[in-house]
Chain A
């Protein structure tokens, strides 16, 4: 025990003596939170529209002004040639073309229905879907107004309209920042855990100090404990620091119990640290360890549900994702922080992490060899 404590003490001494370490611990979280949270937003603002109004009637102008009045749209240009608008889109200057055909007003008033065209740049399918949804909403709204204006109250009585009111639960203002912060914090803990722990052991191999350690009576468990515990502590500290920054800068909600968050983080960090340890047993240089860690990190993070929703993945990918520890922890973080879920609600994810931690840690310990 005394030996483990002393190795931990030595590890901390080295960590804090490393000049690049303190900036990593303190600035990386702030930077990641500020940059990623503000940048990685799904909200569509300033959709650039080119209007091709071939009708130029009162009704068509009303429709255009409806778009103009929305905060999501910005009329970039107007022209009378569809081709011109299409050129603009090819150049990437606009996101959407709104075309009102000639005779729109006449047709609408005479026949009671008419068509307009949205042409949306769908290179990014997700944002194209959003633009389409927003535009349809505006059009529906416009439709309703048109019906109101052009019908007599008597006729109105015959029209039964169903109105839908929305209320968004757990994130009433649909604030993407509160949704992103918990995920970014997981990212942070993962990077610190995986990179620092794996690299640290490989570094000892690279500079040869492991040779000197191996001839001492320190046993495997003591060595591994002495190596992992410091980064476990640093990882938990990072989380606490990140949560504080998130609260101060973005005022993220903390509905659930923080104790539950840290309990899950403690288990999760064991999973990540044993991954780092495993990587260090199959690599020989820090460079190799870095590359292997990155491979795992990219796969884990992209499939974690941080940016895209897991439910929309194909079934095989969802099944594969059961092996993704990052996914479990992101879910726990979001559930506890945003919804205020209790232990019973997250228990499935929590036990998955526990099983994962036990398996990966024992595998890493088995794989680690002092003798070559």
Chain B
């Protein structure tokens, strides 16, 4: 990796009695696409707000491209782009006026950096005279990304950019991020969607203000210590209850229409379990071994007591 872009060391932030972030330490390399994954309240937004100099940490040190977030906050503001989780462009200005406004206050023009946002902006350009408030969710995201990109930032901070956006737009959005990454921009993105983890170079799984693990998505899955069976049955609620009581089962979670049963290889296998379910008159539709997903890993990490 050609050097560090974002460096965070032993960061802590409290809001009154609640600890939003505790002892966060990580590095993001230049040109990396780094994801923060975790449920609401994990501390993702707080972390991004500290990195974008909007919030001061209690203790710890952060640098972005070598600049300290407290001392050199001005420099950071001109080299980073930020897209908050809540749409925060001017709803009463048009698409073009918004983009022009942000270009101007960063001391640049649309034409100067048009090549950077072209692919994204072209999709919303037909609506450039429409007010930003009247755009659809997906188009708003594209506009927000364009505005965060128009001054050619070195680092891009995106707070839950795909929340509230339809599946197709989400996919498109990630494709855009991949292209920006290819252009050499460091991207830090937070998301509550586990399935988006695989798009990142590395992910940090966060829970209750702590980072549980940082590694590549593939490695996270490889480190999953258990075996998994996916069980589909008629009455999933009853199924979950009975599976949890069955000896040898480590944990059971509902994943859409099916239940994921985690167990240690030595203690259980598919045939025993399906035999048990048949005996209990469960109309088992399907039972098959599966690969762990990031979500399974997340659930497992959440349950592992911290040393």
Chain A residues with CB under 8 Å of chain B are: 2-3, 6-7, 10, 13-14, 17-18, 207-219, 371-372
| A13 adjacent to B97 (CB under 8 Å) | yes
| B54 adjacent to A216 (CB under 8 Å) | no
**Assuming A14-B93, A17-B92, A209-B88, is B106 touching A215 (CB within 8 A)?**
no
Residue-by-residue, is B89-129 near A (CB-CB < 8 Å gives 1, otherwise 0)? 11111000100011011110000000000000000000000
| B106 adjacent to A216 (CB under 8 Å) | yes
Q: A208-B86, A211-B54, A215-B52 are in contact. List 18 more A-B contacts (CB 8 A).
A: A2-B104, A10-B90, A10-B101, A13-B93, A14-B93, A207-B88, A209-B89, A211-B84, A212-B89, A212-B102, A212-B147, A213-B105, A215-B54, A215-B82, A217-B77, A219-B74, A371-B73, A372-B55
6 A-B pairs within 8 Å (CB atoms) are namely: A10-B90, A207-B91, A208-B88, A209-B89, A371-B54, A371-B56
User: Please, how many angstroms separate the alpha-carbon atoms of A33 and B92 in the complex?
Assistant: 32
Expressed in whole angstroms, the minimum distance between the Cβ of B304 and any Cβ of chain A is 34
Across the interface, which residues of A come within 8 angstroms of B207, CB to CB?
none
Expressed in whole angstroms, the minimum distance between the Cβ of B85 and any Cβ of chain A is 9
**Assuming A10-B93, A13-B93, A17-B92, is B104 touching A3 (CB within 8 A)?**
yes
| Size bin of chain B's contact surface | 20 to 34
Across the interface, which residues of A come within 8 angstroms of B91, CB to CB?
207
Expressed in whole angstroms, the minimum distance between the Cβ of B156 and any Cβ of chain A is 11
Pick the residue among B54, B93, B107, B147 that contacts A217 (CB under 8 A).
B107
Expressed in whole angstroms, the minimum distance between the Cβ of A57 and any Cβ of chain B is 77
Across the interface, which residues of B come within 8 angstroms of A18, CB to CB?
92
| A211 adjacent to B77 (CB under 8 Å) | no
Chain B residues with CB under 8 Å of chain A are: 52-56, 73-74, 77-78, 80-82, 84, 86-93, 97, 101-102, 104-107, 147
| B83: nearest chain-A partner, CB-CB | A212
| A208: nearest chain-B partner, CB-CB | B88
| B103: nearest chain-A partner, CB-CB | A6
Across the interface, which residues of B come within 8 angstroms of A209, CB to CB?
88-90
User: Please, how many angstroms separate the alpha-carbon atoms of A156 and B19 in the complex?
Assistant: 99
Across the interface, which residues of B come within 8 angstroms of A213, CB to CB?
105
Kindly list the 7 A-B residue pairs having the minimum CB-CB distance in the complex, ordered from nearest.
A208-B88, A215-B82, A217-B78, A212-B88, A6-B104, A208-B86, A211-B84
| B54 adjacent to A214 (CB under 8 Å) | yes
**Assuming A215-B77, A371-B55, is B105 touching A6 (CB within 8 A)?**
yes
**Assuming A17-B92, A18-B92, is B54 touching A372 (CB within 8 A)?**
yes
Pick the residue among A7, A14, A371, A372 that contacts B92 (CB under 8 A).
A14
Expressed in whole angstroms, the minimum distance between the Cβ of A329 and any Cβ of chain B is 32
Expressed in whole angstroms, the minimum distance between the Cβ of A173 and any Cβ of chain B is 49
User: Please, how many angstroms separate the alpha-carbon atoms of A208 and B86 in the complex?
Assistant: 7
Expressed in whole angstroms, the minimum distance between the Cβ of B29 and any Cβ of chain A is 22
Across the interface, which residues of A come within 8 angstroms of B52, CB to CB?
215
User: Please, how many angstroms separate the alpha-carbon atoms of A218 and B105 in the complex?
Assistant: 7
Expressed in whole angstroms, the minimum distance between the Cβ of A360 and any Cβ of chain B is 27
Expressed in whole angstroms, the minimum distance between the Cβ of A368 and any Cβ of chain B is 15
| B104 adjacent to A371 (CB under 8 Å) | no
Across the interface, which residues of A come within 8 angstroms of B87, CB to CB?
208
User: Please, how many angstroms separate the alpha-carbon atoms of A371 and B50 in the complex?
Assistant: 10
Across the interface, which residues of B come within 8 angstroms of A371, CB to CB?
53-56, 73
| A6 adjacent to B74 (CB under 8 Å) | no
User: Please, how many angstroms separate the alpha-carbon atoms of A372 and B104 in the complex?
Assistant: 25
User: Please, how many angstroms separate the alpha-carbon atoms of A7 and B147 in the complex?
Assistant: 16
Across the interface, which residues of B come within 8 angstroms of A6, CB to CB?
101, 104-105
User: Please, how many angstroms separate the alpha-carbon atoms of A213 and B106 in the complex?
Assistant: 10
Expressed in whole angstroms, the minimum distance between the Cβ of B163 and any Cβ of chain A is 14
User: Please, how many angstroms separate the alpha-carbon atoms of A216 and B147 in the complex?
Assistant: 11
Expressed in whole angstroms, the minimum distance between the Cβ of A36 and any Cβ of chain B is 32
User: Please, how many angstroms separate the alpha-carbon atoms of A92 and B106 in the complex?
Assistant: 68
Expressed in whole angstroms, the minimum distance between the Cβ of B11 and any Cβ of chain A is 16
Across the interface, which residues of A come within 8 angstroms of B77, CB to CB?
215-217
Pick the residue among B55, B73, B82 that contacts A212 (CB under 8 A).
B82
Across the interface, which residues of B come within 8 angstroms of A207, CB to CB?
88, 91
Across the interface, which residues of A come within 8 angstroms of B56, CB to CB?
371-372
**Assuming A371-B53, A371-B54, is B106 touching A217 (CB within 8 A)?**
yes
User: Please, how many angstroms separate the alpha-carbon atoms of A214 and B102 in the complex?
Assistant: 12
User: Please, how many angstroms separate the alpha-carbon atoms of A218 and B73 in the complex?
Assistant: 12
Q: Which of A3, A207, A212, A216 has the most CB of B within 10 A?
A: A212
Expressed in whole angstroms, the minimum distance between the Cβ of B74 and any Cβ of chain A is 6
Across the interface, which residues of B come within 8 angstroms of A212, CB to CB?
82, 84, 88-89, 102, 147
| A216: nearest chain-B partner, CB-CB | B105
Across the interface, which residues of B come within 8 angstroms of A218, CB to CB?
105
Across the interface, which residues of B come within 8 angstroms of A214, CB to CB?
54
Pick the residue among A3, A211, A372 that contacts B105 (CB under 8 A).
A3
Across the interface, which residues of A come within 8 angstroms of B86, CB to CB?
208, 211
| A215 adjacent to B93 (CB under 8 Å) | no
| A2: nearest chain-B partner, CB-CB | B104
| A7 adjacent to B105 (CB under 8 Å) | yes
Q: Which of A211, A219, A372 has the most CB of B within 10 A?
A: A211
Across the interface, which residues of A come within 8 angstroms of B93, CB to CB?
10, 13-14, 17
User: Please, how many angstroms separate the alpha-carbon atoms of A218 and B74 in the complex?
Assistant: 9
Across the interface, which residues of B come within 8 angstroms of A217, CB to CB?
74, 77-78, 105-107
Q: Which of A2, A7, A216 has the most CB of B within 10 A?
A: A216
Expressed in whole angstroms, the minimum distance between the Cβ of B249 and any Cβ of chain A is 45
| A211 adjacent to B88 (CB under 8 Å) | yes
User: Please, how many angstroms separate the alpha-carbon atoms of A17 and B93 in the complex?
Assistant: 8
Expressed in whole angstroms, the minimum distance between the Cβ of B305 and any Cβ of chain A is 34
